[in-house]
C-alpha cells in the first residue's frame, strides 16, 4: 500500500467513527429532550446551543457542540 492509500483508509475509518459517535449522542440527547418535553421541563437550557430552536434542531446543535469538544 502506498502512503496515499493508507491515509485515505485512515480518513475513511475516522469518518465512520465520528458518524457513529454523532448518531449515538443524537439518540441519547433526543431521548432526554423528548422525556423532558413530555413532563414540561425547560430542557433547552440544559443542552448547550439548543436555545430557541425546534426539538430536532436543538438536539442537533447540542450534539455538534458536544462533538466540537472531542476533536
Residues 13-51: tens digit of each pLDDT: 888 888 899 999 999 999 999 999 899 888 788 888 777
- Residue 23 to residue 45: CA distance in whole angstroms: 22
- Give the pLDDT of residue 71: 67
- Residue 19 to residue 10: CA distance in whole angstroms: 14
For the ranges 7-16, 23-32, 53-62, which has the lowest average pLDDT?
7-16
The CA-atom distances, in angstroms, between 26 and each of 3, 10, 61, 63 are 34, 24, 10, 6
Cell of 14: 475516522
Q: What is the dihedral of CA 13, 16, 21, 25, to 10 degrees?
A: 170
Q: What is the mean pLDDT of residues 44-59?
A: 82
Q: What is the mean pLDDT of residues 51-69?
A: 85
Amino acid at each position: 500500500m502506498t502512503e496515499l492509500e493508507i491515509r485515505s483508509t485512515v480518513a475513511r475509518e475516522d469518518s465512520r467513527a465520528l458518524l457513529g459517535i454523532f448518531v449515538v449522542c443524537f439518540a441519547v440527547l433526543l431521548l432526554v429532550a423528548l422525556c423532558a418535553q413530555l413532563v414540561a421541563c425547560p430542557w433547552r437550557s440544559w443542552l448547550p446551543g439548543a436555545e430557541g430552536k425546534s426539538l430536532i434542531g436543538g438536539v442537533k446543535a447540542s450534539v455538534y457542540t458536544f462533538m466540537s469538544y472531542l476533536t
